[in-house]
Amino acid sequence: MRRIVICAGVAVVLLPILWFFTSRWCALLVDQVHTQRLGTLQSNPIGWNGTWLQFGPSIGNVHGPLGWSGPALLQGGHTVDLNGPPGPDYEPVADLKVDANNQLVLRKDGKSFVLGSRAGTIAGANDPIPAFAAGAGDQTSVTLECSLLGWPASYRSNFMTGYSPSWQRYLYYRLSWRKPSGAALSILWRFRQDYDSVNGWTGGLTQEDIRIEIRP
């Protein structure tokens, strides 16, 4: 009986510690199975300023959504940086070029995918940026999703606001693009969000991951 009590006491002490250090990976594991959909974004036309793709026009010179929770999260220009996550070389994960036919073409691993033809401009954070419209018969969609589970934030202090996040979660953008020929493009990119009791869910931090697949 004494041994059972001791084991139970050790478990009570160790389980919260174990959860603190493994909860982020548990959240990622759950995200591989299912995420919570927050809404659908504008997917056509798309903007390209030479650095990132933009879905939806910017509002009020704001780079990104108007806010990071509630209805404001779905408004404004959402962007994806093809340079990928921060690293020593910041190697781009794919190449984007405007070809001789004024079409925006994405190339990765020897494959190419036409994202559309030049179609005026859309509002960027500072100035209008070139817009490209999907071809006839193309099916496009961009959804915004979030982790089902949050995890306790490691100690971080925000010296600008004085608030420290207590929880974190991931935001996921999923682009799906299919052509009448059967060619398909999928892009998944991920941001990390902070939560504190005063501001709620706040701005997405650095884009942490991006995955691009062109089929066939």
Mean pLDDT score of the chain, rounded to an integer? 85
CA distance 216 to 207: 27
Q: How far apart are CA 29 and CA 14, in angstroms?
A: 21
Q: How does pLDDT run across 59-106, given as a tens digit for each residue?
A: 988 888 988 888 899 999 999 988 766 556 667 889 999 999 999 999
pLDDT digits (tens, 9 = 90+) for 196-215: 888 888 876 677 889 999 99
- Residue 158's pLDDT is 54
DSSP 74: G
**Lowest mean pLDDT segment, chosen from 18-32, 89-103, 150-164:** 150-164
**pLDDT value of position 198:** 84
